Amino acid sequence: MAAAEQIGEKKGREQTMKQHSIWSNYRYTYGPLWQKKKKIVLSTIAEAVFYVFVPIVGMMTTSMIIGSLEQGISMSKLVLLVLAAFAVCGVLNIAKGYLEARGDGQYIEARTELFIMDQIEKDLTVSMEQYEDEEIHKLKEKSDNCLWANFFGLEGFFRHNSDLLKSVLGLVVYALLVGSMNWKILAMLIAMSAVSAAAAYGVTRYYQKIKDPVAEQQMTMHYINREVDDIQGGKDIRIFGLESWIIGKFDAAIRRCRQLHFRWDMRSYGSNILDTVLDAVRDVICYLYLILQLAGGMRLSEFVFYLGLIAGFSNWIGMISKSVVAVRQDSDSINDLRAYLDLEEEKPSGEAVDCSAWTDIEIEFDHVSYRYCGAEAETLRDVSFRLAAGEKIALVGVNGAGKTTIVKLMAGLYLPTSGTVYVNGVSTRDLDRKSYFAKQAAIFQEPFQTSYSIGENIALAETYDREKMWKVLAQAGFDQKVRSLAGQLDTHLGKDIVPDGIGLSGGEQQKLLLARALYRDASLVMLDEPTAALDALAETEIYEKYQTLLRGKSVLFISHRLASTRFCDRIILLSEGCVVEQGTHEQLMRKQGAYHEMFQVQSRYYQDAGQGAEKPDGSIS
């Protein structure tokens, strides 16, 4: 059954990541550009016109000067003619250069102002289930490649379409002029161009085969870059001497990328060789024809003009071939971007239930099971329990028992594979998630902290109520520390943005997170082993504050130290994804089951920490 479900999941992802036609991608990119940045489109057209006609004016000027010499024009008139011709060509070339330089910045402007914010918004709103899916991570990498490059993907699409417009316009104009000379020559040029285009298409098709493997290697390189840049990890890297190992991993990814690109480059090189051969054949045939025409009475000025046209025609063909390949690749990359932006979460069957007016939160797990995408077995199996409004529940169990998964299901970050999670009687499938998130405060084992000010880190907003801020800092026991700092609430955490940012100890970090939960005034608070890095005494101090300050709120917390669970109204013991025991601390100790056994094993360490061991009746010795 699991295998069948995995196939279904894969098909579902493939359907979500549908491929758009190139015409659809034109509407997707140039539609917003025309609506909001019309000047860029008009500038691109003007640039193409100047790009094509300025060389023609130059060839006509040369032909005119040679024709004047053939007619025996006087030297003074010839000088004036040359000066006038150069003045006209100079003005046209200045205008052409200005449009080309302007276009460079405009394409960056179009990419950054019209599209990047869509991806950032998707990064921040994509569901956790999708965010943790390996295939979605790969898609995100390809989406980044589309958006964060100058000559590939979205911006490349604008640039290469500008080149394509120039080459198509140039080909049409030059074809009309060459056709006026001899239609057979024109037919020959077109036929050879078709062969060149077919070879270029083959290169584009091969790129599709290597795109995913390249993205996988880029994911590896970006991951290593993040780890190397992490200050906390830097200590381990140096102590354990991981430099060679990390460099070896990075080098392996680079070499794999290089191998993939080499195969693509060789096909591109083969296509370029074919273009060179076809160009040579075209030139030989055309030049022989023109030489014969010159011998038959064609004027030298006409010979020079048509010679320039044929050489230009070959250039336009080569430019079209390269532009078509690039546009096709850019369009495929835009498909990746659109597939990522089109990712959809499971939506309520009817209108989503707004939680904004709720003051109390009650949670019920009704025969809930959950299996991660691609996993063979379920992480949770038939879990049922209830968290009443204002109740405090401790969730305990060994690592891998499914505790964090329960937190994510309770928060609405995940939706059950089967069964239902009810919030005040409403399934999480039918909730308006944003309004539900606003009722929560969650503190995870790896706490979220930004490199902005202490005030912003607590309020998680740029503006905040400073009076309320000092109140919650005092409640959390962190106000004296903040008042001792030169910048107080405006002091930055970390040195990523400002050089005088500070670092916090583990205990200080926990007090800041407690202040954050208090400032949010959430109805539901979830604590997923936030004190795992603290010693037993420091953890006890923090949990005593939680017990006092979160009174009246619905609280679920996970702790690997069972002695800290005693202040909870109820304890749930999870093992291998199933609830095996529930009750108060005293009830579970008297039962002398799995919880009792785990507590007795840990009690030795509590004695060492000065907490004492507990007797079977729940008292402390």
Average pLDDT over residues 466-492: 90
Report which of residues 217 and 393 the model is more confident about. 393
Query: Which comes out higher in pLDDT, residue 604 or 579?
Result: 579
Percentage with pLDDT > 90 across the chain: 12
Identity of the residue numbered 22: I
Q: Tokens at residue 272, please?
A: 């370029």
Q: What is the pLDDT of residue 161?
A: 92
Specify the pLDDT at position 56: 81
State mean pLDDT over 515-542: 78
Amino acid occupying residue 433: R
Cα separation, 290 vs 74, whole angstroms: 29
Higher pLDDT among residues 79 and 368, named by residue: 368
Is residue 51 within 8 Å of residue 183, measured between CB atoms?
no
Q: Is the backbone of residue 360 left (phi > 0), alpha (psi -120 to 50) or beta?
A: beta
DSSP 435-465: HHHTTEEEE-SS----SSBHHHHHHTSSS--
Residue type (1 letter), 311 = A
Structure tokens at 12: 């579902």
Q: Under DSSP, is residue 573 helix (H, G, I), strand (E, B) or coil?
A: strand
Contact between 546 and 527 under an 8 Å Cβ cutoff? The reply is yes
Helix axes 134-147, 116-125, angle to 10 degrees: 160
pLDDT (0 to 100) of residue 532: 63
Mean local confidence (pLDDT), 217-222: 79
Instruction: Looking at 342-461, list the stretches that DSSP marks H as alpha helix, in order from N- to C-terminal side.
Output: 403-411, 433-437, 454-459
Transcribe 52-64 into DSSP letters.
HHHHHHHHHHHHH
Per-position DSSP letters for 229-264, written without gaps between them = H-HHHHHHHHHTT-HHHHHHHHHHHHHHHHHHHHHH
Supply the mean pLDDT for the chain.
80
Per-residue pLDDT of 529-553, as tens digits, reads 766 666 667 677 777 777 777 888 8
CA Rg value for the chain: 35
Paired with 574 in beta bridges are 579
Inter-residue contact 363 to 386 (CB < 8 Å): yes
Q: Is the pLDDT of residue 376 over 90?
A: no
CA-nearest of 383, 339, 393 to 361 is 393
**Residue 336 vs residue 560, higher pLDDT:** 336
**Phi-psi category of 297—alpha, beta or left, where left has phi over 0 and alpha has psi -120 to 50?**
left
Confidence at residue 157, expressed as pLDDT on a 0 to 100 scale = 93
Distance between CA 204 and CA 322 in Å, rounded? 10
Whether the CB-CB separation of 396 and 528 falls below 8 Å is answered with no
Is residue 63 within 8 Å of 302, Cβ to Cβ?
yes
Q: What is the pLDDT of residue 83?
A: 84
Chain segment 540-598, per-residue pLDDT in tens: 777 777 777 788 889 998 877 676 677 788 999 888 889 988 888 888 888 888 888 88
Cα→Cα distances 332→16, 26, 200, Å: 15, 12, 15
**Cα 564 to chain centroid, rounded:** 40
Distance CA 151, CA 107 (A): 10
Are 335 and 91 spatial neighbours (Cβ–Cβ below 8 Å)?
A: no
Side by side, which strands form the sheet with 570-575?
440-443, 524-528, 554-558, 392-396, 570-575, 578-583
Q: What distance in Å separates the CA atoms of residue 59 and residue 572, rounded to the nearest whole number?
A: 87
DSSP state of 613: P
Least confident of 7-16, 52-61, 219-228, 384-393: 7-16
Is the separation of the CB atoms in 214 and 260 below 8 Å? Answer: yes
* Prediction pTM value: 0.66
Say if residue 134's pLDDT is above 60. Answer: yes
Instruction: Dig out the tokens for 450 from the structure.
Output: 């930004």
What values do phi and psi take at 363, rounded to 5? -115, 140
Distance of CA 500 to the CA centre of its chain: 30
Q: What is the pLDDT of residue 534?
A: 66
User: Whose CA is closest to 331, among 207, 470, 464, 491?
Assistant: 207
pLDDT recorded at residue 12: 47
pLDDT of residue 485: 87
- Whether residue 421 is predicted with pLDDT greater than 80 in this model: the reply is yes
At 151, list the tokens. Answer: 């000559």
What local confidence, expressed as pLDDT, does residue 296 receive? 77
Mean pLDDT on 236-241 = 67
Cβ(567)–Cβ(524) below 8 Å: no
d(C-alpha 130, C-alpha 472), whole Å: 35
Measured distance CA(530)–CA(514) in Å, rounded? 10
Q: Which tokens go with 394?
A: 């401790």
Closest CA to 366 of 431, 429, 421, 425: 421
Residue 359 sits at φ, ψ, to 5 deg, of -105, -30
Give the model's pLDDT for residue 548. 76
Specify the length of the chain in residues.
621
